[in-house]
Amino acid sequence: MSWNVYLSGEIHTNWREEIETAVEKAGLAVCFSAPVTNHLASDDCGVAILGAEDNKFWHDKKGADINAIRTRALIEKADVVVVRFGEKYKQWNAAFDAGYASALGKSLIIIHGAEHQHALKEVDAAALAVADRPEQVADILRYVIDSKLEGYT
């Protein structure tokens, strides 16, 4: 069995590459997916393809809808959905993805720093693991997929 893992949330650090590299090194059969992480393209895709809008609300609506074609399909195919909350911004789309994945019965892993612990309590409570560093997610995947846990043989 090959596992599908969707990496949602924060797009300003290279946490996705960290996980993917570690998982690849471990030789696991994982197919990673993610939202479009080019911030400008993600904001403008709707109007760039379907035509400009005067009103920012509809500019954003057109973009968000096209992004949803990707996002929904990938979350629905995922076995595990990882959501990382960064230090900055509102990141409501990350929390939305977590709720969406949770209602679909996906296994959720949340990554965030200690500063967000209380504010994310409902999101964390819906997760099967709450990590603070990306490499922990790689460790979880290695254990879950390959039964490997460092120090236990």
Of 10-18, 19-27, 131-139, the segment contacting a copy of itself by CB under 8 A is: 131-139
The answer to whether residue 20 forms part of the interface with a copy of itself (CB under 8 A) is no
Based on CB atoms, which residue is closest to a copy of itself, 21 or 136?
A: 136
Question: Closer CB to a copy of itself, residue 27 or residue 151?
Answer: 151
Residues 105-124 that bind a copy of itself (CB under 8 A): 105, 107, 109, 116-124
Q: What track of x and - describes contact with a copy of itself for positions 66 through 85 (by CB under 8 A)?
A: xxxxx-xxx--x-xx----x
- Interface residue with a copy of itself among 50, 52, 87, 113 (CB under 8 A) is 50
Task: Tell whether residue 31 is a contact of a copy of itself (CB under 8 A).
Answer: yes
Residue 26, interface with a copy of itself (CB under 8 A)? Answer: no
- Reported for 27-32, long-range contacts at CB under 8 A and 24+ positions apart, including other chains, are 27/146, 28/3, 28/141, 28/142, 28/145, 28/146, 29/1, 29/2, 29/3, 29/145, 30/2, 30/3, 30/4, 30/5, 30/141, 30/145, 31/2, 31/3, 31/4, 31/5, 32/5, 32/6, 32/7
Residue 3 and residue 132: Cα distance in Å, rounded?
A: 22
Q: Is 149 in the site for a copy of itself (CB under 8 A)?
A: yes
CB 46 within 8 A of CB 62: yes
Residue 57 structure tokens = 């609300």
Interacting residue with a copy of itself among 18, 21, 36, 86 (CB under 8 A): 36
Site size toward a copy of itself, by CB under 8 A: 86
Question: Encoding tokens for residue 19?
Answer: 């996980």
